[in-house]
Structure 1
Amino acid sequence: MSVDWKRLRCEHLGEAHPRLLPPSLKLPILPAAVQEFNRLADDPEASLVDLGRVVESDCGLTAQLLRMVNSAALGLKKKASSAQQAIAVLGVRSVRLHLLAAGMQLAMKTHKSKLINMTAFWHTNLERAFVARQVAELLGADENLAFSASLLHDFLLPMLTNELFDDYLRFSETPEDVRRPLVDFEAETFGWDHARASAHVLLAWGLPDDLVCAVLWHHRGLQLLSDVELGRTAAAAVAVAGLVPDPLRQARGGLKHLLWLHEHWPEFDLPRIAEYAAQQLHFLSPAAGQHFTLQRRLEKYTAGLAEK
């Protein structure tokens, strides 16, 4: 069943309205090469050579893109050695999504947060992205879209937690057993939440409606998986991956929901998916050795059960 993403985006988000954010908030700036690639990607006259040259004008972006596309996650028989080869093998749309994720990661390297450990933040985002890719494969959905949306959906949080530090500190210091989900806290405190705000920013940047919607709904968890229209889309995969616990502890019970899904969906082998995500994380980020992965969380949970 084909999904009319533009209709859904118009119904649930409307047009781009990034002004709902604090006016003093400094948004990350995508590398010029990513912005130019986005423009050329919509030009039917643009050639692979033109697109490849745009990417390769930024050495850091090229290296990041090739590292992503050559990871075992994509299973390419022949490794890409240039941006043009990556585009030829994966297609313009897939490379556009990977470039966006790589560009955002590079743009965020200069940002620091007074509340969030940025190393743990990015490692969690990467791990979630690999979980989303696996779930998308099970659903027969767009794996590259799921990967990119999962990598991007929390990109505003480091800046928001700096700009509105006292409010987010109040959230983080609330005991977990009585804490509301972060999006509920944000909606009550600010009149918006980071998922909606991020979707508006991505829409203002001219990014595809399916990506925008996946970011918008990334906190809907298992609810989206059971949705008649969206349950077999990349957006559902992103929502499932969003249950992986994160440093800010945005929602309670994420691990329990994943374990429930493991028990009730035979194809959803949580230990295998967690192992895969950990392996891919360490390939893309060798410094992630100390990261408390989903795999380690499961091992700790299992050990705790054995002791009872």
Structure 2
Amino acid sequence: MNWAEFRKQLLDDEPPIALPELQVVALPDVIFRVVRAAQREDASANEVGRIIDADSSLTCDLLKYVNSSAMMLRHKASTASRATMLLGVKRTKLFVLSLASNRMMRNVKSPLILMKRFAVSSLERALLSKNIAKHLGLDEDLAFSAGLLQDLVLPALTAEFAAAYSELLELSKEKQTDLAILEQQDRGWNHASVAARMMTSWGFPDDLVCCVFLHHQLDRILKDNQFNRTELLPVAMSALLNDLFKQTPNGMQTLDQVWNEVLPAVSLPEQALVIYDQLQEMNPELHGHQSLAEHLATLIS
């Protein structure tokens, strides 16, 4: 898959419309220094780790991620350099980009979003995407990062256009229509295309941009024999998971159906419990969050 060419094609195929100018918090300089260092072919884990060490909060989050059961690493890390060595430079770069972007958007105050619940929901989608990628033999870290970033700009969009999104969410519920479809009809863009363009302007990896761009286009991915063998598939499947907005009204039923088609030998309820344990370990503040396992129980009953 030529991700660079595909990303260019996706963005060039978009109609020439004015995208919204959003008030977002700039990514910290340490993130760009990590990315610049990691993109060099001779980049070492120690070099990248030393840059991360300059930010104590970033170091703490990286260590929590690396030492979690979701990573299933044999050894534990106590420094950013050691964590980078265990993950590898590329995986560390993806995680740092994802974490920083997600944290940045959590600082946006939207009247329509409870940010703590939004963050937990985003993390669960990321873990589900990673889990699916693992069973399909795909890049788990790319799937995790794209799953985490798929709704990157929703807080800023719902803050900027609160009245319009209130109407769109009511319409989505009434007509049982995906939010992304209604966004496209009403605004001429959707949150996936806006996020993809923003990520491109920040120099994010092409594969990550493409996965975010197409995360609400599961039908297109399933029908294409090239797309459905890439990380596009697990990310789009994770987008079916209910969130605060229920962006895909029948998402849980569709997820159950597609899972049985794509992973017939793997039990979704069993994997849901695994994901719940991972989610609880990485984010103990689950108050008010209805987990994937709980959604499935409701669906089955």
Name the TM tier (shorter chain).
over 0.9
SS where residue 22 of structure 1 aligns? coil
Which amino acid in 2 is paired with 1:130?
L
Match of 2:240 among 239, 243, 258: 243
Which amino acid in 2 is paired with 1:155?
L
CA separation in 2, counterparts of 1:139 and 1:20?
A: 38
CA separation in 2, counterparts of 1:108 and 1:101?
A: 11
CA separation in 1, counterparts of 2:211 and 2:102?
A: 18
Structure 1 residue aligned with 2:93:
96
SS where residue 231 of structure 1 aligns? helix
CA separation in 2, counterparts of 1:285 and 1:127?
A: 10
For the pair 1:78 / 2:75, whether they are aligned, the reply is yes
CA spacing shift, 1:16–1:44, aligned 2, 3 Å: farther
The C-alpha deviation readout for 1:52-98, integer Å capped at 9, x for no partner, is: 11101000011011111111111010011111111111111100011
Structure 1 residue aligned with 2:3:
5
For the pair 1:112 / 2:129, whether they are aligned, the reply is no
What pairs up with 1:226-265 in 2 under 5 angstroms? Answer: 226-264=223-261, 265=263
CA drift at 1:18: 12
CA separation in 2, counterparts of 1:11 and 1:52?
A: 35
CA contact (8 A) 1:222 1:240 kept: no
CA drift at 1:169: 0.6
CA spacing shift, 1:175–1:235, aligned 2, 3 Å: closer
Consecutive aligned runs of 4 or more in structure 1 exceeding 6 Å deviation: 15-19
SS where residue 141 of structure 1 aligns? coil
Structure 2 residue aligned with 1:33:
30
SS where residue 192 of structure 1 aligns? coil
CA separation in 1, counterparts of 2:118 and 2:162?
A: 17
CA separation in 1, counterparts of 2:125 and 2:225?
A: 24
CA separation in 1, counterparts of 2:159 and 2:289?
A: 23
The TM-score normalised by the length of structure 2 is 0.93
CA spacing shift, 1:81–1:200, aligned 2, 3 Å: same
CA separation in 1, counterparts of 2:16 and 2:266?
A: 37
How many residue pairs were aligned?
300
CA drift at 1:43: 2.4
Stretches of structure 2 lacking an aligned partner (at least 5 in a row):
none
CA contact (8 A) 1:18 1:204 kept: no
What pairs up with 1:214-225 in 2 under 5 angstroms? Answer: 214-225=211-222
CA separation in 2, counterparts of 1:18 and 1:151?
A: 28
Identity %: 35
For the pair 1:169 / 2:166, whether they are aligned, the reply is yes
CA drift at 1:45: 4.3
What pairs up with 1:75-224 in 2 under 5 angstroms? Answer: 75-174=72-171, 176-224=173-221
Structure 2 residue aligned with 1:69:
66
Further displaced range: 205-214 or 82-91: 82-91
CA drift at 1:258: 1.5
Structure 1 residue aligned with 2:48:
51
CA drift at 1:247: 0.6
CA drift at 1:262: 4.0
SS where residue 6 of structure 2 aligns? helix
CA separation in 1, counterparts of 2:201 and 2:123?
A: 24
The C-alpha deviation readout for 1:168-200, integer Å capped at 9, x for no partner, is: 010122362414211111111111111011011
SS where residue 264 of structure 2 aligns? coil
CA separation in 2, counterparts of 1:105 and 1:26?
A: 15
CA spacing shift, 1:16–1:251, aligned 2, 3 Å: closer
CA drift at 1:222: 4.9
The C-alpha deviation readout for 1:17-37, integer Å capped at 9, x for no partner, is: 9994323x2123222211110
Further displaced range: 252-261 or 148-157: 252-261
Which amino acid in 2 is paired with 1:10?
K
Structure 1 residue aligned with 2:267:
269
Which amino acid in 2 is paired with 1:200?
R
Stretches of structure 1 lacking an aligned partner (at least 5 in a row):
304-308
SS where residue 228 of structure 2 aligns? coil
The TM-score normalised by the length of structure 1 is 0.91
SS where residue 207 of structure 1 aligns? coil
SS where residue 74 of structure 1 aligns? coil
CA separation in 1, counterparts of 2:11 and 2:39?
A: 23
